[in-house]
């Protein structure tokens, strides 16, 4: 028996070790912290190179460790080990550099860096094995964000284990004060498997010579494509000072299709491919760089110094994971004659305003050299080409402490006239399956009203509580809005009423509806959800509600004016039909009122004066439910969907009100959306979202960024089934707050009980046990599909070797590895889920329109 007990203990230890697989993947960072490199105190952010962003995501800060280059055209490299063993996916790149000090940066992925030092001269190489370019930056380019579902794969069995950052310091006059440089890039990585794998295709001229004084010089590159299909979504151009325009094309059956065209004198960002372009076996990829030799007295060659030139056209693409190739290059011109048919646009420089050139360099008051208007080949100026088109991206303000406020179920948000955030929450009350009977009469009056202040005024910068009110007034708070005079307008679904409150008044200034009496006439509501007040007329709009399907309008003193809306009929919802009108927002510029038609998963807009239907906004990305909507002057509409169904992603949306087009989507990095319930936005595009399940509020801010619109993935090559599986997996990971202690304990106890039962049975039968489990190890390997250009060591892209092999190259010492210069609360006591706020039965499936 003692032997049996010993065996059971061993099995228990083995099982406990296997359960470590349930730990948060970011726990491996603890071992990484002990080996963090020593960094300069001037390098902000470098003391925490790894930042947890939730259960599955993390940020990696890759920075130069406080360096001071001593001569111009210095290339310095540093490496950072991927802090996790599991495979991860890079989904976002955020540069931390200025053109005032850095000429360009490249980020490589590999397994064996050329040095183990904190940093080293890149003349030693970047990697001793094969390396992939993951990112490139120059000329104050904004951040690059990948489309949803696309990522650069790193780690695991086949991905890169190291990141190597190469920084080219062109003119070091900025270091006269001997300050230390901490330039680099911050990566956003996720453990969530991405169905599409990103890669980089580099087209590069290596033998171009630009004669002095020559007005027009072409550098052409072309290669046959002989791989699995790839889908292009972003491009980037790079030259030095003599470059005027760089253009890239797909050539198929003699037809030239533009991939991208841009002036290299503008910020060298990754720009979105305007129209989806796919590359198939047998296509030709072609690119042309247009230079001028005017102003030069000597020949200019391709090389790595600021006085040399480069001709690079980068393409970001994605492929199906099973066929993915992470990096490809093209450095030749397989058919010079084909360029006789290149579109004329490739021979015309893009005009760049002088002030844009100054902004690109970070200067605003210095005189500049001649602009491109002095270039010999001219064209009529096209306004859209003279203005750099930059989008904005909404992302969480991760340093905002408001996410840690102690709140009840957050049901409503608004901004007061001072732009302070106002939160409406439920304190210690919950909306669950016991709150109402079948007639929608509130069943928990015995609890009394909420004893805490339910309305909190929050400083938007530091989340300090500036004021509070609403104690002993409400049972189940829901909607909140604030009028132009700063009065609070709220709804209570338990009381079936709407209230107007002064900021410092203890008693309501106006009450609509009858207390605790549900109804559908002009004097009653049934669980009203939201209220909005017209800033011009003072008219009051009430969305009513969970058990009515209408919008009710009152005069400023509470007199009934009109109503519209009806319950959704069987089949596709018609205009003016609602299935829980859940949230309201006024659009004064267009005289409209927009409604989040929750269970129909859409936004409906009406003329506020007449109730006449004007439009519907509905997207597949909304999923089945759309919970809240908020409009800001300037034509932007913000929305958030709610509890996920299989295939839905809970996220925030930014839309163009005029077109209904989705401009951006966003999710938090701290915690996860569980059931976001309300959204409010300010004119500066600061967005707040409150969540009834998570009992928290997130703050999001806008940043100018080069955004690749998700719509460009419409022709993605993954099957519908695999995409659905990925989305379902994504939802499960996003909605789950983590493996609970109870679950882990249960998993530990169950096998012990089973083993004990087996032991008792064996003893009872007095039989001998023979058990020998052979270990089966599953070995997998994947070969690299594409051979790469060899640098120092055995791998790495080394232009020095390229250039040295060409007659035209005469630079000495260039051997750098470079390519360029209802809101139901979860019951925490019993672990079960109570019902969220009342939700109408889901309608029959209907087709979603975008």
Between CA 425 and CA 428, with CA 426 as vertex, the angle to 5 degrees is 135
DSSP helix/strand/coil, 173: helix
Which residue, chain included where needed, has tokens 């090559």?
A: 717
- Which band of pLDDT confidence, cut at 50, 70 and 90, is reported for residue 646? confident
Parallel, antiparallel, or unpaired for β 550-554 and 88-96? Answer: unpaired
Residue 827 CB neighbour total at 10 angstroms: 13
Query: 501: buried, middle or exposed (CB in 10 Å: 19+, 13-18, 0-12)?
Result: buried
* Percent of the chain's residues with pLDDT above 70: 74
Report the pLDDT averaged over residues 522-545. 96
Q: Which of 200-209, 333-342, 760-769 has the lowest mean pLDDT?
A: 760-769
Is 806 a residue of the active site? no
User: In angstroms, rounded to a whole number, what is the distance separating the alpha carbons of residues 430 and 408?
Assistant: 8
Angle, in degrees to the nearest 10, between helices 741-765 and 2-19 = 150
Structural tokens at position 327 = 């990096």
Is 729 a residue of the active site? no
Q: Which of 223-227, 260-264, 694-698, 737-741 has the lowest mean pLDDT?
A: 737-741
Is 478 a residue of the active site? no
User: In angstroms, rounded to a whole number, what is the distance separating the alpha carbons of residues 139 and 137?
Assistant: 7
Count of residues making up the chain: 850
User: In angstroms, rounded to a whole number, what is the distance separating the alpha carbons of residues 735 and 87?
Assistant: 21
State the alpha helices, DSSP H only, in 169-298.
none
Structural tokens at position 457 = 């005024």
- Residue 121: the pLDDT is 93
Per annotation, catalytic residue among 96, 104, 582, 651: 104
> What Cα–Cα distance (Å) separates residue 500 from each residue in 503, 510, 586?
10, 5, 18
Is 166 a residue of the active site? yes
Per annotation, catalytic residue among 64, 78, 96, 166: 166
Q: Which residue has the higher pLDDT, 54 or 256?
A: 256
Q: Which residue has the higher pLDDT, 110 or 771?
A: 110
Please list, in sequence order, all residues whose beta carbon lies within 8 angstroms of the beta carbon of residue 196, skipping any fewer than 6 positions away. Answer: 149, 150, 151, 318, 319, 320, 321, 713, 716, 717, 718
Question: Residue 454, by phi and psi: left (phi above 0), alpha (psi -120 to 50) or beta?
Answer: alpha
Q: Which residue has the higher pLDDT, 422 or 26?
A: 422
pLDDT at 661 over 70: yes
Give the pLDDT confidence of 306-342 residue by residue, as tens digits.
789 999 999 999 999 888 888 899 999 999 999 999 9
Give the pLDDT confidence of 94-153 residue by residue, as tens digits.
898 888 889 889 999 999 999 999 999 998 889 998 888 888 888 787 777 788 899 999
Per annotation, catalytic residue among 231, 240, 301, 429: 240
Tell me, rounded to whole angstroms, the distance of Cα 303 from its chain centroid: 36
User: In angstroms, rounded to a whole number, what is the distance separating the alpha carbons of residues 829 and 825?
Assistant: 11
Give the pLDDT confidence of 287-304 residue by residue, as tens digits.
999 999 998 999 999 987
Is 310 a residue of the active site? yes
Is 168 a residue of the active site? yes
pLDDT at 725 over 70: no
Per annotation, catalytic residue among 103, 188, 425, 677: 103
- Residue 671: the pLDDT is 84
Structural tokens at position 651 = 């996220």
Contact 158, 282 (CB under 8 A): no
For residue 5, give the H/E element and its range: helix 2-19
Is 240 a residue of the active site? yes
Structural tokens at position 782 = 């994947």
Please list, in sequence order, all residues whose beta carbon lies within 8 angstroms of the beta carbon of residue 427, skipping any fewer than 6 positions away. Answer: 408, 450, 451, 452, 453, 454
Q: Across the strands, what pairs with 604?
A: 595, 616
- Residue 704: the pLDDT is 64
Query: 755: buried, middle or exposed (CB in 10 Å: 19+, 13-18, 0-12)?
Result: middle
Report the pLDDT averaged over residues 356-371. 36
Give the pLDDT confidence of 27-38 residue by residue, as tens digits.
333 333 333 344
- Residue 542: the pLDDT is 98
Structural tokens at position 550 = 């209408």
Catalogue the long-range contacts made by 778-785 (C-beta closer than 8 Å, 24 or more residues apart): 780/157, 781/157, 782/157, 782/158, 784/130, 785/227, 785/325
Per annotation, catalytic residue among 78, 99, 105, 168: 168
pLDDT at 8 over 70: no
């Amino acid at each position: 028996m003692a032997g049996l007990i010993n065996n059971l203990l061993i099995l228990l230890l083995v099982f406990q070790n296997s359960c470590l697989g349930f730990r948060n993947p970011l726990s491996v960072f603890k071992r990484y912290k002990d080996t963090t490199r020593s960094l300069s105190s001037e390098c902000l952010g470098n003391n925490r190179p790894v930042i947890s962003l939730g259960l599955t995501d993390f940020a990696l800060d890759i920075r130069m460790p406080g360096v001071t280059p001593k001569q111009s055209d210095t290339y310095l490299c540093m490496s950072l080990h991927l802090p996790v063993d599991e495979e991860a996916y890079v989904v976002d790149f955020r540069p931390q550099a200025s053109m005032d000090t850095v000429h360009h940066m490249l980020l490589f992925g590999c397994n064996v860096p050329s040095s183990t030092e904190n940093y080293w001269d890149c003349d030693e190489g970047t990697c001793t094995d094969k390396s992939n370019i993951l990112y490139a930056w120059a000329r104050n380019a904004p951040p690059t964000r990948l489309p949803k579902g696309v990522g650069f794969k790193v780690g695991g069995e086949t991905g890169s284990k190291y990141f190597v950052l190469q920084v080219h310091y062109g003119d070091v006059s900025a270091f006269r004060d001997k300050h230390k440089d901490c330039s680099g890039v911050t990566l956003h990585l996720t453990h969530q498997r991405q169905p599409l794998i990103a890669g980089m295709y580099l087209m590069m001229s290596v033998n171009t010579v630009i004669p002095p004084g020559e007005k027009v010089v072409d550098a052409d590159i072309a290669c046959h494509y002989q791989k699995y299909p790839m889908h292009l979504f972003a491009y980037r151009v790079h030259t030095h000072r003599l470059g005027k325009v760089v253009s890239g094309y797909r050539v198929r059956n003699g037809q030239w299709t533009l991939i991208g065209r841009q002036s290299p004198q503008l910020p060298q960002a990754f720009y979105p491919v305007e129209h989806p372009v796919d590359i198939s076996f047998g296509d030709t990829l072609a690119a042309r760089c247009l230079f001028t030799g005017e102003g030069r007295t000597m020949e200019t060659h391709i090389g790595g110094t600021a006085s040399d030139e480069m001709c690079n056209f980068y393409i970001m693409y994605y492929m199906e994971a099973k066929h993915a190739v992470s990096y490809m290059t093209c450095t030749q011109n397989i058919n010079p004659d084909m360029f006789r048919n290149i579109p004329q646009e490739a021979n015309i420089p893009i005009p760049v305003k002088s002030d844009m050139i100054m902004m690109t360099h970070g200067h605003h008051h210095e005189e500049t050299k001649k602009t491109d208007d002095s270039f010999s080949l001219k064209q009529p100026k096209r306004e859209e080409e003279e203005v750099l088109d930059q989008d904005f991206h909404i992302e969480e303000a991760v340093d905002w402490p408001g996410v840690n406020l102690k709140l009840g179920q957050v049901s409503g948000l608004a901004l007061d006239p001072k732009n302070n955030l106002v939160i409406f929450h439920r304190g210690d009350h919950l909306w669950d399956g016991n709150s109402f009977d079948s007639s929608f009469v509130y069943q928990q009056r015995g609890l009394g009203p909420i004893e805490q202040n339910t309305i909190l005024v929050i400083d938007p910068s530091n989340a300090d509580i500036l004021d509070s009110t609403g104690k002993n007034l409400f049972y189940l708070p829901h909607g909140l809005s604030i009028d132009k005079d700063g009065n609070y307008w709220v709804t209570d679904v338990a009381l079936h009423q709407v209230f107007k409150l002064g900021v410092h008044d203890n008693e309501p200034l106006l009450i609509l509806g009858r207390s605790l009496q549900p109804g559908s006439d002009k004097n009653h509501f049934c669980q009203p959800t939201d209220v909005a007040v017209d800033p011009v007329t003072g008219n009051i709009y009430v969305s009513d509600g969970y058990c009515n399907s209408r919008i009710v309008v009152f005069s400023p003193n509470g007199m009934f004016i009109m109503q519209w809306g009806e319950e959704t009929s069987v089949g596709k919802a018609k205009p003016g039909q609602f299935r829980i009108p859940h949230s309201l927002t006024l659009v004064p510029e267009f005289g409209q009122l927009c409604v989040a038609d929750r269970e129909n998963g859409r936004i409906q807009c009406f003329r506020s004066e007449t109730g006449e239907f004007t439009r519907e906004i509905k997207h597949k990305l909304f999923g089945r439910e759309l919970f809240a909507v908020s409009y800001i002057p300037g034509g932007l509409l913000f929305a958030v969907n709610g509890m996920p169904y299989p295939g839905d992603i809970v996220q925030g949306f930014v839309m163009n009100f005029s077109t209904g087009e989705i401009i951006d989507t966003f999710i938090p990095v701290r915690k996860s959306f569980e059931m976001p319930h309300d959204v409010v936005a300010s004119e500066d595009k600061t967005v707040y979202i409150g969540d009834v399940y998570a009992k928290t509020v997130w703050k999001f801010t806008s940043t100018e960024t080069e955004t690749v619109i998700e719509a460009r993935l419409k022709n993605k090559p993954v099957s519908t089934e695999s995409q659905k599986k990925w989305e379902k997996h994504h939802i499960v990971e996003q909605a789950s707050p983590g493996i609970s202690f109870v679950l882990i304990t249960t998993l530990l106890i169950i096998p012990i009980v089973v083993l004990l039962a087996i032991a008792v049975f064996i003893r009872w039968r007095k039989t001998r046990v023979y058990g020998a489990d052979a270990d089966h190890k599953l070995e997998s390997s994947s070969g690299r599909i594409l051979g790469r250009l060899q640098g120092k060591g055995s791998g790495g892209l080394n232009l020095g070797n390229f250039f040295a092999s060409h007659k035209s190259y005469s630079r000495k010492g260039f051997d750098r590895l470079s390519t360029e210069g209802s809101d139901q609360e979860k019951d925490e006591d019993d672990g079960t889920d109570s019902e969220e706020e009342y939700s109408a039965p889901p309608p029959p499936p209907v087709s979603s329109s975008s």
